[in-house]
Structure 1
Amino acid sequence: MGTQSVERALLLLEAFTDQAPEHRISELVAFSGLGQSTVSRLVGALDALGFLERDARSGLYRVGHRAVALGALALNSSPIYTAARQVAQNVAAQTGLGVNVALQEGAELFYVCHFEGAAAPKNYDMAGRTGYLHATGLGKCLLSDQDEDDVRALLGTSYAACTPRTITTLDALTEELRTIRGRGYATEHEELAFGRSCIAAPIRDRSQQIVAAVSISGPLTAINLAEREAELAGKVIETADSISGSLGFLGSVAASQPPMGRFTEATSSG
């Protein structure tokens, strides 16, 4: 298979997303702009190799088991994943909440690890998904060491509003990052999705650079930052410190003790 064929095959695989996990040949033609015969030939090769598979009843193609195996290999080869996996799983079990680990990939965050607790169940895995940097606790932690010029170059000066609570301007984001640097953790309260909240802390390696972030998340009733912010901030910082230590970082990600009751007024109505 030549270089052009490899590039085209990978392009077809990019059509498969959480929002569109299955496709007909005609849809792949429309997505790629390639001819139907070319798409049919490439899909046939990917099917034969196990990177795609065809549902016999619907005739739709979906990602095959070989792609899953490659994804698992990529995760298991990641120092961040191997350092974080067991720690994150233990915290999810202890707290009953969701625990996510993500790293920055360009202007997005990339989830490498996800575990849910009994109070924060999900019917899907976050690993491999991407997300906003400006609208998540994880993303804001990943940005927290960057100055205003760096953030402007990366994200611009205005951002998508996922909810009315989302930070949408560079000035507001810069101020939020300053707060995160001062206390060692970030919060996200219905900024990405209604009814959900999280608290996150940065993960550093031996170079003292932020290489990832870890969050504790769940529905508002379970997270309850109005009453649990100090408790959960301590837990997420402890978790980040444990993972950072495995990556060679000496010290604590926390710059100060968590303040009490920051969300009391903001969440008093619900």
Structure 2
Amino acid sequence: MDKKGKISDPLARGLAILELLGVEDTGYTLKEIAARVGMSKTSAHRYGSMLCDQGYLARDPRSGLYRLGVRTLSLALAIIEHNDLVRLVQPLVDEAAARHGVHIDVGILANDAIYLIYRRDSPDTRAYRSFSYSSALHYLAAGKAAMAFLEPEALRELVGRLDLVAQTARTITDPEALLADLEQVRRQGFSRNNEESLPGLIAIGAPLFSLRTNAVIGAISFDSATATYSMQEFEDRFAGYLVELAKKLSAVVSL
């Protein structure tokens, strides 16, 4: 980035646009892309046109909104099929999803964000949008589970960098309140998302650690609709299973 925080490298700009479109499936206008990535509208148009020509983006001719294109989907499927990390995680997650009937996300922490590497949906959560990549760690169960186990100084610095936006009335947006919540997560070993990201959606999360360095590297979350379980029922029923599964996943992702 340059001194003003704008992305200057051409490849980084293109990747930043793809990452942006991967977060929201509602699409973005050129003006929104330019503002969020940090470039002029002219540059956004040039990059958007190039990525559309290559199939990585698609533009709706009626609304003008840009979304991810079919080539991105093909690339994502290839990664899922051939990535060693996904192959190691998949059987454990699939078994847990089949046994417990819950939505499961596994994400890896990097660059102040959490990146989804594997997901299993459940029938009661298919109506809800879930993250594929998110820098809004403070309202995701997986994000909070990973953040809580950072070193204290690194955690405070991260909280200071995050944009603590409110997704619902229950989202924690005060830095000190968030730090207190994360301390509770650290003590009990798992996090809660009590309708903090979407009304009607609850989740619990547990951290993944590198067995070589003992550093937190990601998290796993179980999600459910409030129509199926209350927060307390969900926590009482699944927190123990979640923490044990997180330990098993830590063993395989650290190989």
Shorter-chain TM-score category?
A: 0.7 to 0.9
Deviation at 1:13, TM superposition (A): 4.5
Root-mean-square deviation (CA, aligned residues, Å) is 3.6
Letter of the structure 2 residue corresponding to residue 213 of structure 1: A
Distance in 2 (CA, whole Å) between partners of 1:187 and 1:58 is: 37
Q: Report whether the alignment pairs 1:146 with 2:153.
A: no
Aligned length: 243
Alignment partner of 2:91 out of 56, 66, 86: 86
Seen in structure 2, the aligned counterparts of structure 1 residues 194 and 242 have a Cα distance that, compared at 3 Å, is same
Matching of residues 99-118 of structure 1 within 5 Å: 99-118=104-123
Contact 1:144 1:180 in 2 (8 A): yes
Deviation at 1:131, TM superposition (A): 4.8
Does the residue aligned with 2:123 lie in a helix, a strand or coil? coil
Name whichever structure is richer in helix by fraction: 2
Deviation at 1:69, TM superposition (A): 2.7
Residue 5 (structure 2) aligns with: none
Seen in structure 2, the aligned counterparts of structure 1 residues 14 and 183 have a Cα distance that, compared at 3 Å, is closer
Does the residue aligned with 2:142 lie in a helix, a strand or coil? helix
Alignment partner of 2:232 out of 209, 216, 226: 226
Q: Deviations over 1:12-55 (max 9, x none)?
A: 6466452542657x88788852548x946x55543443323466
Q: Report whether the alignment pairs 1:175 with 2:180.
A: yes
Letter of the structure 2 residue corresponding to residue 132 of structure 1: A
Give identity over the alignment, percent. 23
Alignment partner of 1:164 out of 169, 172, 176: 169
Distance in 2 (CA, whole Å) between partners of 1:67 and 1:153 is: 33
Please report the TM-score for the alignment, with normalisation by the length of structure 2.
0.74
Residue 236 (structure 1) aligns with: 242
Seen in structure 2, the aligned counterparts of structure 1 residues 188 and 12 have a Cα distance that, compared at 3 Å, is closer
Distance in 2 (CA, whole Å) between partners of 1:35 and 1:173 is: 39
Distance in 1 (CA, whole Å) between partners of 2:119 and 2:101 is: 13
Deviation at 1:176, TM superposition (A): 2.6
Seen in structure 2, the aligned counterparts of structure 1 residues 234 and 66 have a Cα distance that, compared at 3 Å, is same
Please report the TM-score for the alignment, with normalisation by the length of structure 1.
0.71
Q: Deviations over 1:95-153 (max 9, x none)?
A: 222111122233332222222112322376x4633152222221111012224432221
Deviation at 1:201, TM superposition (A): 0.9
Contact 1:96 1:119 in 2 (8 A): no
From the CA coordinates, give the structure whose radius of gyration is larger.
1
Matching of residues 25-104 of structure 1 within 5 Å: 32-33=39-40, 35=42, 39=45, 45-53=50-58, 62-75=67-80, 80-104=85-109
Seen in structure 2, the aligned counterparts of structure 1 residues 228 and 12 have a Cα distance that, compared at 3 Å, is closer
Letter of the structure 2 residue corresponding to residue 33 of structure 1: S
Residue 202 (structure 1) aligns with: 207
